[in-house]
Chain A
């Protein structure tokens, strides 16, 4: 039984087919990676699944319910949460407040109670504050809790976004390049974190450029090129697939040549 099912998803930008007829599915606790060269449509795919863009074609089914074109805040209520390739941190808030803000669905209540700081409102804030601290500890940001979010390093901000997304207690988590800009040690930490979260039964959809990481942790890989799915399967099979090597690794090889030359 799949938790998230993508069927024939597609979108056009100004007559250009950005993503076309992409489909795959995620089971609970499964880690699925979407890979492909730059511009293959990975982030666009993420934006459609998470409700940021409205797909022109196809369906997104979450736990049996058609959630295509549903706005992100309603998807969040159904347990779908995500991080962003270009960081979307609440800059003027502290690190802790960013993580607390992720608890919105658990801590929201009557505006009246919030205005008058009634005990109910304070209890809600306190519960989300405690949970946020635990999450920050989990992603290794416990000591930075009181800092302004803007003062953190790029890698730390990536982890803060993961903590904020986890605060939702999601069933499906979309991670858009979580290890980008991280050093080897940080990458390994994120690696562990993702595996742990998946082990708790959360389905993870991952876009990542670090091929070693993708091969290591994915149960299943979907390969995009020019907006279309060209292959999918287990990591070992993908690594051997000639079309993938041509489209993806081929592009990398050319890039590598440019760097060398």
Chain B
């Protein structure tokens, strides 16, 4: 039996997440792994926006910021459990994405890029400026999720880094499953159709404005949950999470691995998350390298690493 591309992707992803810890020499690698999954989640959302629907956003870190600060603020001010705070953050992100997306998605290409960028900057500006609430540029503490204690009570004793590795890995697989379902669904086809030709999509009845908004809101929810996970596992958050560089990193990871493929984009997240962590020499050269990677991949492998490589392998096999 030939597996569908959806099943293959999920199997590869789950297998890598489950088996990788066998090779981890220290608990530090669990930490790197969970960062990859957190970024991978945001990037999976951008696959829906960039890869499926062909729209760009340079402001999605803004939604990550909303998700992150929801986890920091809602438990303190509303008395919500951190998990519910994350859900609240996702709902808030969805609502804001809806309100912001309606006008800005009428714009195309460069205009959309710049206005979304402006939105992201607005969010990080508010987070930095409203210091009484958010602690300003110094950031603020985030309460414990508490799930690890529950697991311990039922006999599953994980270290902090192990827990976050497993938990964010699980959320990532779930996120990937949803995105892959979407790809093969009527909604996914409508998104890919408007990516291919907006005018043709319109003439077969696709309400282009509506579907662009669907992609924008969904990707905002992914970014928001990713921000929440980051805040909860770091137990501390600064406005950088909503910053321009974070938005750019998210987009770069997406297109580096291949915006059209969930697995490719997660691979992109893995590469760009790991390099600076593993090679400390990169700290100094991080911007230089990031910029160089962005240019080289877009010039020589427009579809991204994974699609370009699989195409080459297939080409050789035939």
Contact = CB atoms under 8 A, between A and B. Distances in A.
Determine whether A and B are in direct contact in the complex, meaning some CB atoms lie less than 8 angstroms apart. yes
Interface of A: 50-52, 71-73, 75-77, 81-82, 84, 88-93, 97, 100-102, 104-105, 107-109, 111, 113-117, 121, 124-125, 128, 164-165, 167-168
A88 B189 contact: no
Nearest to B6: A117
B136 to A, nearest CB: 37
Given A114-B188, A121-B185, A73 B205 contact: yes
Interface stretch (B65-73, B102-110, B195-203): B195-203
Given A107-B186, A108-B187, A128-B186, A82 B193 contact: no
Contacts of B17: none
Contacts of A117: 181, 185
26 contacts: A72-B202, A72-B203, A73-B205, A73-B206, A75-B203, A76-B205, A77-B205, A81-B203, A84-B200, A89-B196, A89-B197, A90-B195, A90-B200, A91-B196, A92-B196, A93-B192, A104-B189, A104-B204, A104-B205, A107-B186, A114-B181, A114-B182, A114-B188, A115-B178, A115-B187, A167-B204
A247 B189 CA distance: 45
A165 B201 CA distance: 11
Given A72-B203, A114-B185, A128-B186, A88 B193 contact: no
A92 B205 contact: no
Contact of A52 (B186, B193, B199): B199
Given A116-B178, A116-B181, A117-B181, A101 B197 contact: no
Contacts of A116: 178, 181
Interface residues of B, number: 28
A67 B29 CA distance: 62
A165 B205 CA distance: 10
Contact of A92 (B184, B190, B195, B201): B195
B268 interface: no
A92 B194 CA distance: 11
Contact of B187 (A72, A84, A114): A114
Contact of A50 (B187, B195, B196, B203): B203
B181 A108 contact: no
Nearest to B260: A92
A238 B58 CA distance: 57
B138 interface: no
Contacts of A92: 192, 195-196, 260
A104 B208 CA distance: 12
Given A76-B202, A117-B185, 10 more contacts: A73-B203, A73-B205, A76-B204, A82-B203, A89-B200, A93-B189, A104-B206, A107-B186, A108-B205, A121-B185
Contacts of B199: 52, 72, 84, 88
Nearest to B179: A115
Given A104-B189, A114-B188, A128-B186, A90 B206 contact: no
A117 B182 CA distance: 8
